[in-house]
């Protein structure tokens, strides 16, 4: 499985958690996997690859 697909699955799992027990409306959450296109660390080492396994959550206030 490609890293980007795995990242998308992780992000979707976070979205599910926020919408189910967290009661956040699904329409207010957007999921995007940037995967290998925007790494935060090098993929040359196991420590760097570990740092690249992350999910960013952006919260938009109610309008």
Q: Has residue 1 got a pLDDT over 70?
A: no
28-38: burial string, b at 16+ Cβ within 10 Å, e else: ebebebeeeee
Per residue in 22-33, pLDDT tens?
Answer: 788 888 888 877
Burial class (CB in 10 A: 0-12, 13-18, 19+), 12: middle
pTM reported for the whole predicted model:
0.64
């Amino acid at each position: 499985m490609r890293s980007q697909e795995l990242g998308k699955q992780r992000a979707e799992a976070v979205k599910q958690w926020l919408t189910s027990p967290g009661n956040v409306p699904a329409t207010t959450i957007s999921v995007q996997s940037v995967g290998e296109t925007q790494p935060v660390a090098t993929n040359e080492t196991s420590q760097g690859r570990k740092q690249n396994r992350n999910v960013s959550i952006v919260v938009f206030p109610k309008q």
